[in-house]
């Protein structure tokens, strides 16, 4: 089934709520990058967080999240847009740590507890907006929450969850984000905080077959919610052979000549999606001519 994200509001519009089933999206990332379980969960949670943040901007506007921690996973980089597309990678895809004391995947161990969490938003304005906060947890949900509160002054709660099977495939992946609008009363905030503490993990709710709307209904319990929109989400990279050709041209004639003579061709691999693009000797000759023309 196609992944999607549901947007809703509650408490007379004082609370915005988002929930997403990203199982196929994270599964796609896992296969493309051949991630091992702890790396899968670290990348998967960041992809889910990216989708949730991305759903707050307009269609072509983009959001990039960079988690640069001190742990063995290295940096995790994710870019999403308002149309539900997300792409991303983890510097070290092959991290597999023992489960933590709670018997859960040790995302904190892979990300590390020191480092920088940064977000860049390109909203089609002259200057992109960017903000950063220190990593406060390494489990990522809390890091997204802290970033939103500190950098964007939006009191929020973000839950991110990835469940990995014994064969490294993704069982379920999803998350939610609640945001308090200005003027939300303390009673509303307190009621939601209490509710969130009692929630099972999103992956458990997805395992039970709950849809994003049902997850939101469950979070708000007896409080009615209004579903505003459903958005299809997917792992999608915007790379192309043409874009890599431009990169090759910019290397200049000398380097292209070396590729022709020594390697008899070139292969470029997209960092975000692992798609491979091959360039034959003849194609490199043509690119070399363009480089000359520059």
Which of helix, strand or coil describes residue 140? coil
Per the document, the length of the chain is: 294
Q: How far is the CB of 243 from Zn ion (least distance, A)?
A: 9
Q: Which is nearer to Zn ion, 16 or 33 (CB)?
A: 33
Residue 281 tokens read as 């000797």
Q: How far is the CB of 248 from Zn ion (least distance, A)?
A: 16
Q: Which residues contact 206 (CB under 8 A, 6 or more apart)?
A: 21, 23, 161, 163, 172, 173, 174, 215
Q: Which is nearer to Zn ion, 69 or 88 (CB)?
A: 88
* Residues at the contact surface with Zn ion, assessed by CB under 5 A: 237, 239, 270, 272-273, 275
Q: How far is the CB of 266 from Zn ion (least distance, A)?
A: 16
Q: Which residues contact 133 (CB under 8 A, 6 or more apart)?
A: 116, 117, 118, 143, 146, 147, 150, 151
Residue 67 tokens read as 């988690």
User: What is the rounded distance in angstroms from the CA atom of residue 218 to the CA atom of residue 9?
Assistant: 14
**On the CB side of 71, how many CA atoms lie within 13 Å of its CA?**
28
Q: How far is the CB of 244 from Zn ion (least distance, A)?
A: 9
Q: How far is the CB of 57 from Zn ion (least distance, A)?
A: 21
Q: Which is nearer to Zn ion, 38 or 79 (CB)?
A: 79
Q: How many CB atoms are located within 10 Å of the residue 156 CB? A: 17
Q: Which is nearer to Zn ion, 10 or 29 (CB)?
A: 29
Q: Which is nearer to Zn ion, 53 or 237 (CB)?
A: 237
Q: Which is nearer to Zn ion, 81 or 203 (CB)?
A: 81
Q: How far is the CB of 237 from Zn ion (least distance, A)?
A: 3
Q: Which is nearer to Zn ion, 10 or 273 (CB)?
A: 273
Q: How far is the CB of 238 from Zn ion (least distance, A)?
A: 7
- Give the residue from 185, 142, 158, 209 showing the smallest Cα distance to 56: 158
Cα dihedral sign, 65-182-141-274: negative
How many DSSP H helices and E strands does the chain contain?
10, 13
Q: How far is the CB of 275 from Zn ion (least distance, A)?
A: 5
Q: Which is nearer to Zn ion, 83 or 179 (CB)?
A: 83
Q: What does the angle CA 235 – CA 5 – CA 108 come to, to the nearest 5 degrees?
A: 65
Q: Which residues contact 21 (CB under 8 A, 6 or more apart)?
A: 3, 4, 5, 172, 173, 174, 206, 211, 212
């Amino acid at each position: 089934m196609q992944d999607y994200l549901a947007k809703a509001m509650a408490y007379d519009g004082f609370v915005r709520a988002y929930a997403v089933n990203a199982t196929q999206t994270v599964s796609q990332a896992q296969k493309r990058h051949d991630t091992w379980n702890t790396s899968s969960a670290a990348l998967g949670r960041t992809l889910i967080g990216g989708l949730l943040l991305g759903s707050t901007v307009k269609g072509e506007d983009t959001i990039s999240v960079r988690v640069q921690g001190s742990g063995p996973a290295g940096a995790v980089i994710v870019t999403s847009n308002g149309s539900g597309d997300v792409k991303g990678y983890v510097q070290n895809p092959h991290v597999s740590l023992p489960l933590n004391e709670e018997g859960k995947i040790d995302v904190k161990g892979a990300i590390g507890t020191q480092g920088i969490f940064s977000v860049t938003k390109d909203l089609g304005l002259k200057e992109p907006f960017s903000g950063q906060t220190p990593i406060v947890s390494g489990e990522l949900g809390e890091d997204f929450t802290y970033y939103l509160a500190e950098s964007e002054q939006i009191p929020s709660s973000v839950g991110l969850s990835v469940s990995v099977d014994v064969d490294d495939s993704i069982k379920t992946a999803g998350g939610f984000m609640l945001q308090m609008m200005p003027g939300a009363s303390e009673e509303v905030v307190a009621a939601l905080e209490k509710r969130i503490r009692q929630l099972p993990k999103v992956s458990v709710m997805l395992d039970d077959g709950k849809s994003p709307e049902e997850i939101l209904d469950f979070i708000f319990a007896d409080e009615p919610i209004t579903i505003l929109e459903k958005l299809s989400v997917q792992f999608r990279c915007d790379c192309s052979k043409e874009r890599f050709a431009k990169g090759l041209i910019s290397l200049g004639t000398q380097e292209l000549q070396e590729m022709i003579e020594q390697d008899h061709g070139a292969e470029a691999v997209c960092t975000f999606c692992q798609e491979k693009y091959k360039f034959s000797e003849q194609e490199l000759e043509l690119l070399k001519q363009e480089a000359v023309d520059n």
